[in-house]
Amino acid sequence: MKTRERCYTCLQEFAQQIVSLSGANGTLVERCSHLIDRLYSPSKSPTEISNRLLGYIREQTGVTDPFAAKKAMELRLALVAAEEFRSLFPRDLEGLLKYSCLGNSLDYFEGSYDVSAFRFLGNVESIRERIMSAGREALLFGDNIGDFFFDLPLIRFLESAGKNVYYAVKEAPAQNDLSVPDVELYGLRNLFSNIISTGADEVGVRKERMSGTIKALWESDALVIAKGMGNYEAISEFHDERPVIYNLKVKCKTVAEALDRSVGEHTSFIGGVYGS
């Protein structure tokens, strides 16, 4: 997905927030603004630019995980919400997709776990057919730290359908995304052991940085599921190579326009080859 005009303001606000969380001052904000001016282009995806910003701020401040406190809070909220709302969603595929999407409600800039206005759009039967026609392996790209608890029932469903599921998280901190250090810190392998690394400390996934198990699964007949807007923004740049199931909450107008959805809606759909 490419940047649009409104992304410029969002990137500026994003830089200000990261600088503030990193304990730096307005001088660095100004330098980030100049960097955005140099990087901003309708030929780039939003994640491409935001990852460059993240890397630059890390280099300038030495702070590798500015979202550590926010992630700890989000994890606590997710644990409570996952338990509170689990009984509202049936254990069939549609219910599990909806529940997984609900888990994508929080982000570094907005959100809450609110089912009062929950609206879901998705072709569940097409997704079911894709699950059944794909190979035995399944790769699920995780997103925010809280998403993990809402993805677990979907993982168990896929396992019951005979899939060998890999759950991919960031190698090192990237915004409020779940990373390998978080997995170890909070003992998440006790809930699901087959957690692997994307090999990068970036939001989304870049094709040229895929390696090892991730690359092998992408290039195989494996089922691929990508969680969240960041993964959609990045992977949609090259998903014409294969089908990808996206599961997310629409949180900004740019993504809403790209998907023909409304901000606030939750959606599951197949993109890429054979996408809809």
Cα–Cα nearest to 122, from 270, 274, 2, 275: 270
pLDDT score recorded for residue 203:
94
CATH superfamily assigned to domain 68-272: Uncharacterised protein PF01937, DUF89, domain 3 (3.40.50.10880)
pLDDT score recorded for residue 110:
67
pLDDT score recorded for residue 228:
97
pLDDT score recorded for residue 208:
94
The answer to whether the Cα torsion of 33, 38, 42, 44 is positive or negative is: negative
Report DSSP state, residue 22: T
Model confidence, pTM = 0.95
Contact 109, 122 (CB under 8 A): no
Q: Which two tokens stand for residue 229?
A: 């807007």
**φ/ψ (deg, to 5) at 169:** -125, 165
Map residue 118 onto helix, strand or coil. Answer: coil
Residue numbers of the chain with a pLDDT score lower than 70: 108-111, 274-276
Say how far apart CA 104 and CA 248 lie, in whole Å: 6
Cα–Cα nearest to 246, from 222, 275, 221: 275
Q: Which two tokens stand for residue 276?
A: 């809809």
Say how far apart CA 267 and CA 272 lie, in whole Å: 16
User: Could you give the C-alpha distances from 167 to 31, 84, 122, 140, 193, in angstroms and in order?
Assistant: 36, 24, 22, 5, 9
Q: What is the pLDDT of residues 188-234, one digit of tens each?
A: 999 999 999 999 999 999 999 999 999 999 999 999 999 999 999 99
